[in-house]
Chain A
Amino acid sequence: MASNEMKLLGAWPSPFVLRARIALNIKSVEYEFMEENVLVTKSDLLLKSNPVYKKIPVLIHGERPICESLIIVQYVDEVWASGPAILPSDPYDRAVARFWAVYLDDKWFPSLTAILMSDGEEAKKTALEQAIQGLDLLEEAFTKCSKGQNFFGGDKIGYLDIALGSFLGWVRVIQIMANVSLIDESKTPNLFKWAQDFSGHDAVKDVLPETDKLVEFSKFLVAKVKGSGTK
Chain B
Amino acid sequence: MAEELKVFRTWSSPFGFRIVHALKIKGLEYETILEDLSNKSDLLLKYNPIYKKIPVLVHNGKPICESLVILEYIDETWKQCPLLPQHPYDKAMARFWAKFGDDKIFPPIRSALFSQGKEQEEGVATAVGNLKFIEELLKGKKFFGGDTIGYLDLAFGWMANLISILEEIVDMKLVDAETFPLLSAWMSNFSADPVIKDCWPPRDKMVERFKGFRGPHLKKVA
Chain A residues engaging chain B, CB cutoff 8 angstroms: 52, 61, 64, 66-68, 71-72, 74-75, 78-79, 91-92, 94-95, 98-99, 102-103, 137
Contact = CB atoms under 8 A, between A and B. Distances in A.
Contacts of A52: 100, 133
B69 to A, nearest CB: 5
B133 A95 contact: no
B173 interface: no
Interface of B: 50, 59, 62, 64-66, 69-70, 72-73, 76-77, 88-89, 91-92, 95-96, 99-100, 133
Nearest to A141: B50
A9 B91 CA distance: 21
Nearest to A137: B50
Contacts of A72: 92
Contacts of B65: 99
Contact of B73 (A61, A95, A137): A95
User: Which are the 3 A-B pairs with shortest beta-carbon distances?
Assistant: A78-B88, A91-B76, A95-B73
**Chain B interface, >50% SS class:** helix
A92 B69 CA distance: 10
B74 to A, nearest CB: 9
Nearest to B100: A52
Contacts, number: 52
A74 B92 contact: yes
A64 B99 contact: no
Contact of B69 (A67, A78, A79, A99): A99
B73 A64 contact: no
Contacts of A95: 64, 69-70, 72-73
A196 to B, nearest CB: 26
Given A94-B73, A94-B76, A71 B95 contact: yes
A225 to B, nearest CB: 21
B78 to A, nearest CB: 9
A64 B96 CA distance: 14
Q: Which of A94, A95, A102 has the most CB of B within 10 A?
A: A95
Contacts of B92: 66, 71-72, 74-75
Contact of A64 (B62, B64, B70, B89): B89
Contact of A75 (B59, B73, B91): B91
Contacts of A71: 92, 95-96, 99
Q: Which of B59, B62, B96 has the most CB of A within 10 A?
A: B96
